[in-house]
Amino acid sequence: MRALLLSGLVATASLAGPLIVIDPGHGGGQEGAASPGGLLEKNLALNISKKLKAKLEAELEAKVKLTRDGDQRLHLDERVMFANRQRPDLFVSIHANSMPTASQRRVNEGIETYFLSASASGEDAKKVAARENAEGRQQAKAPSSDTLAFILADLQKAETHHDSSRLAYSVHESLIAGTGAQDRGVQQAPFYVLMGLEAPAVLIEVGFVSHPREGARLADAKYQQQVAESIAEGIKAFLAQVGARESKRSEGVVPAPAGGSR
Ligand SMILES: [Zn+2]
C-alpha cells in the first residue's frame, strides 16, 4: 500500500510509485524446465509475472514493465539492457526448477531466491545457474572468474548489491510464509541475467515443476496468484525498508533543510 511505503515520509506530488521490471524467464523456443505433465517453465513464469504486475500496480501504484509479455524469445543480455533502460527501482526474474531423474523429481521441491555472486553458494546453486545461463547468446563459455570478480568488485562498492541481498531475503521470507512451500533458502550464484543490472535484482525459482505435488500446485492459477501476492508483499516490505534512504535522495533534489538528518 502506498501509505505504508510512504509512511513517515513527506509525499510530494511528483513522487510516483516505484518502477519495477519483472522478467519472466525463457520464452519462445526456450521453454525452460518442463514437468512430466507438460507444465512449461516459460508459461508458468509469464503467468506469475502478469499476476505480480497487476498486484504491484494495484497495491503500490507501481509502474511495472515486463521484459516480455508474450511467448517470445529474448536473449539474456536483451533482458538486462531493457531493464537498465527503464532505470527501475528493482528487478525480479521469475523462474522454476526441475530435476532430471525420476528419483530426484520425487524428493526435490521448494522455493529458492537468488542474488548475484561471483561464486555459487553450493553445488545445487551452481547447477541452477548453469541451467539458467545455458541460453546466453555468445555465452557457451562461462565468463572468466576475472570478469566476474571485476563486476562484483564494482558492485560491492555500491549499495545495490547489498540491496539485492535485502530484496532476496524480504521476498523469500514472504514467499515461504505465504505459500507454505519448502524453504530451500536464499542462495547466491553467478546468473547472467543479474549481471550488469544497475538496480537491486533477484532471481526467484518459484518451485519444482517436476515434483508431483508442487508441480500440480504450480499449474493451478490460484496458487500462482498466491505466489505472485507473496512476492509483492516481499517487494513492499523491501521498499518500506529502503524508503527512508530514498527519501533522503529526493531531499537532495529539492534542497534539504540545513543540518538535515543524514
Ligand atoms: Zn529458468
For the chain, percent of residues with pLDDT exceeding 70: 79
Report yes or no: 201 and 115 within 8 Å, Cβ to Cβ: yes
Tell me the per-residue pLDDT of 105-129, one tens digit each, with 9 for 90 and over.
Answer: 999 999 999 999 888 999 999 999 9
Q: Given the DSSP bridges, would you call strands 201-208 and 111-116 parallel, antiparallel or unpaired?
A: antiparallel
Q: What per-residue confidence (pLDDT) applies to 7?
A: 42
Architecture per CATH, domain 2-253, reads as 3-Layer(aba) Sandwich (3.40)
Say which residue the cell 523462474 belongs to: 95
Ligand 1 centroid distance, CA of 239 (Å): 25
For 163-189, write each residue's pLDDT tens digit: 999 999 999 999 999 999 999 999 999
Q: Please say if the pLDDT value at position 9 is more than 50.
A: no
- Tell me which residue of 239, 241, 249, 167 sits closest to 204, measured CA to CA: 167
Nearest-angstrom CA–CA distance, 223 and 226:
5
Residue 148 has pLDDT above 50, yes or no: yes
pLDDT value of residue 184: 98
**Cα 97 to ligand 1 centroid, rounded to whole Å:** 7
User: Would you place residue 76 in the very low, low, confident or very high pLDDT band (cuts 50, 70, 90)?
Assistant: very high
For residue 117, report the distance from its CA to the centre of ligand 1, in Å: 17
Alpha-carbon distance 16 to 62, whole Å?
A: 8
Q: Which residues of 62-83 are buried (b: 16+ CB within 10 A; e: fewer)?
A: bbbbbbbeeeeebbbbebbebb
- Ligand 1 centroid, distance to 204 Cα (angstroms): 9
pLDDT of residue 119: 85
Distance CA 26, CA 128 (A): 14
Cα 203 to ligand 1 centre (Å): 9
Greater confidence (36 vs 147) lies with 36
What is the pLDDT at residue 168? Answer: 98
Q: What pLDDT score does 111 carry? A: 98
In terms of DSSP bridges, do strands 63-66 and 201-208 run parallel, antiparallel, or are they unpaired? unpaired
Give tens-digit pLDDT for 13-48: 335 799 999 999 999 999 999 988 899 999 999 999
* Residue 244 pLDDT: 65
Give me the percent of the chain exceeding a pLDDT of 90: 70
Beta bridge partners of 116: 189
Is the pLDDT higher at 161 or at 230?
230
Give the pLDDT of residue 179: 98
Ligand 1 centroid, distance to 65 Cα (angstroms) = 19
- Can you tell me the mean pLDDT for 250-261? 50
| Nearest residue to 202 (alpha-carbon basis) of 169, 250, 249, 248 | 169
Give this prediction's pTM: 0.84
Gap from CA of 154 to ligand 1 centroid (Å): 26
Q: How far does residue 251's CA lie from ligand 1's centre (Å)? A: 39
What is the domain partition of the chain in residue ranges? 2-253
Average pLDDT over residues 65-79: 96
